């Protein structure tokens, strides 16, 4: 691979944008949470992580200059005795907010929480994987726990190389900070957590949940909303097996009152026209020195919090559909699966949706500020009510 037996790949411009976030929005991790019934043997889990990592080298990456290189070091498995997640204010949970380990250059780790319910948490620095890559990594660990062979992900390819190969059909969407958020604005204060992290479970599922959430957010927001929907670039090469960052945004400009079906048609048109491929050009801003990048991000955060003007109103992602049957391992049967989004200083709201055995998991990271928490809870109430009434089977 790249002239060597060691897995290595260039750090893409998208991934370079994420490095300053570890300082500005710590711990800046995507976290895949799998609660369940039963128990998992710690040593069996460590062996499964080692087996899965050998097939998924993207889980063992360390930065060396402008490259990611497979360190050969198995991701740490950390046991947290008798800990339960701190619902509803997950931003206050000492485990979820802790730094990844065991060393600062680590990029992936796995947690086993033994407080009822037993919970697995896969923690990933967004600089090495996207959400789909994280799911592929986690499901490989579960395969190994069942004694099955993990699915190899040997391709050292991220968004930059794939877009260069398949080509961008047009020009990138201009990034101008003028979009409002459904929770409004609120000046940040030292006595408030800089970000909020919340989870809701909706007891139903049906196609169209993402479009419905986007339409509701627009209905709650003055003026045009710009929703950023990450698109999995693997659709352009179905044979590709890579856990790297292979997602670029499809931007949806939505007026208040637009029906969700109109939003769904907008999504279909954007995917048909492959518009997400155009957005790689926007990541070239990361080619500036890290110090400049941090300054730009701090200014973007301040402008959004103080004046309510953002590069986008929200990010909304759908991470897939799952069942307990496909994820169960000996002695442990999952009862849910949800993704806790990374915090961001450049985005006021980041929503994640997953579906699990007939229900919908909704999560959100929100830039906090004066008055934001109450407005966020009210917004989540409206989303849950809408999904429960509109998504009946």
Q: Provide the pLDDT for residue 205.
A: 86
CA-CA distance, 336 to 167, in Å (whole number)? 38
Q: Provide the pLDDT for residue 392.
A: 54
Q: pLDDT tens string for the chain (393 positions)?
A: 444 589 999 999 999 989 999 999 999 999 999 999 999 999 999 999 999 999 999 999 999 999 999 999 999 999 999 999 999 999 999 999 999 999 999 999 999 999 999 999 999 999 999 999 999 999 999 999 999 999 999 999 999 999 999 999 999 999 899 999 999 999 999 999 999 999 999 998 878 999 999 999 999 999 999 999 999 999 999 999 999 999 999 999 999 999 999 999 999 999 999 999 999 987 766 666 777 778 888 888 888 888 889 999 999 999 999 999 999 999 999 999 999 999 999 899 999 999 999 999 999 999 999 999 999 999 999 999 999 987 554
Of the candidates 233, 389, 224, 246, the residue with the CA atom closest to the CA atom of residue 314 = 224
CA-CA distance, 350 to 140, in Å (whole number)? 26
Of the candidates 323, 293, 222, the residue with the CA atom closest to the CA atom of residue 17 = 293
- Note if the pTM is more than 0.85: yes
Q: Rounded to the nearest 10 degrees, how much is the dihedral formed by the CA atoms of 96, 102, 106, 109?
A: -50
Question: At residue 242, what are phi and psi to the nearest 5 degrees?
Answer: -145, 140
Q: Provide the pLDDT for residue 172.
A: 92
Q: What are the structure tokens assigned to 159, written together? A: 């968004």
Sorted by sequence, the CB contacts under 8 Å of residue 60 that are 6+ apart come out as 53, 70, 71, 72, 73, 74, 75, 108
Helix, strand, coil % over all residues of the chain, rounded to 5: 35, 25, 40
Q: Provide the pLDDT for residue 1.
A: 40
Cα atoms found within 13 Å of the Cα of residue 269, Cβ hemisphere only: 9
Q: Rounded to the nearest 10 degrees, how much is the dihedral formed by the CA atoms of 102, 134, 142, 47?
A: -30
Question: At residue 142, what are phi and psi to the nearest 5 degrees?
Answer: -65, -35
Concatenating the DSSP letter of every residue in 24-42 gives HSTT-EEEEEEEEEE---H
Of the candidates 36, 1, 207, the residue with the CA atom closest to the CA atom of residue 119 = 36
Query: Residue 244, SS3?
Result: coil
Please work out, in degrees rounded to the nearest 5, the angle formed at the alpha carbon of residue 378 by the alpha carbons of 266 and 30: 65
Strands 195-202 and 247-254: unpaired
Q: Provide the pLDDT for residue 2.
A: 43
Q: Provide the pLDDT for residue 297.
A: 86
| Distance set, CA 384 to CA 75, 194, 198, 209 (Å) | 36, 24, 13, 11
CA-CA distance, 63 to 11, in Å (whole number)? 8
């Amino acid at each position: 691979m790249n002239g060597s037996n060691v897995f290595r790949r260039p750090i893409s411009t998208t991934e370079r944008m994420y490095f300053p976030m570890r300082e500005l929005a710590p711990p800046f991790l995507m976290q895949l949470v799998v609660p369940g019934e039963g128990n998992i043997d710690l040593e069996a889990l460590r062996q499964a992580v080692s087996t899965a990592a050998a097939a998924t080298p993207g889980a063992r990456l360390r930065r060396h200059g402008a490259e990611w290189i497979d360190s050969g070091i198995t991701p740490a498995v950390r046991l947290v005795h008798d800990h339960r997640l701190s619902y509803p204010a997950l931003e206050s949970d000492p485990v979820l907010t802790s730094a990844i380990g065991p060393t600062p250059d680590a990029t992936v780790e796995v947690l086993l929480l033994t407080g009822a319910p037993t919970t697995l948490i896969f923690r990933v620095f967004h600089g090495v994987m996207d959400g789909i890559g994280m799911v592929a990594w986690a499901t490989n660990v579960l395969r190994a726990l069942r004694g099955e062979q993990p699915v190899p992900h040997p391709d050292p390819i991220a968004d930059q190389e794939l877009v260069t190969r398949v080509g961008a059909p047009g020009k990138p969407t201009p990034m101008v900070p003028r979009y409002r958020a459904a929770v409004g604005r609120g000046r940040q204060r030292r006595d408030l957590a800089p970000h909020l992290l919340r989870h809701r479970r909706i007891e139903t599922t049906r196609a169209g949940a993402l479009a419905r959430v986007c339409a509701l957010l627009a209905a709650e927001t003055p003026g045009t909303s710009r929703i950023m929907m990450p698109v999995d670039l693997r659709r352009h090469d179905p044979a590709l097996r890579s856990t790297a960052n292979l997602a670029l945004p499809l931007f949806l400009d939505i007026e208040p009152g637009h029906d969700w079906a109109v939003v769904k048609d907008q999504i279909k048109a954007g995917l048909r026209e492959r518009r997400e491929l155009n957005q790689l050009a926007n990541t070239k801003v990361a080619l500036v020195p890290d110090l400049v990048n941090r300054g730009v991000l701090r200014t973007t955060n301040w402008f959004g919090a103080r004046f309510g003007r953002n590069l986008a109103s929200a990010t909304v992602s759908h991470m897939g559909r799952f069942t307990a049957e496909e994820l169960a391992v000996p002695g442990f049967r999952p009862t849910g699966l949800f993704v806790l989004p990374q915090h961001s200083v450049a985005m006021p709201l980041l929503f994640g949706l997953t579906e699990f055995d007939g229900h919908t998991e909704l999560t959100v990271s929100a830039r906090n500020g004066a008055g934001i928490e109450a407005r966020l809870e009210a917004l989540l109430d409206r989303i849950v009510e809408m999904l429960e009434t509109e998504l009946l089977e």
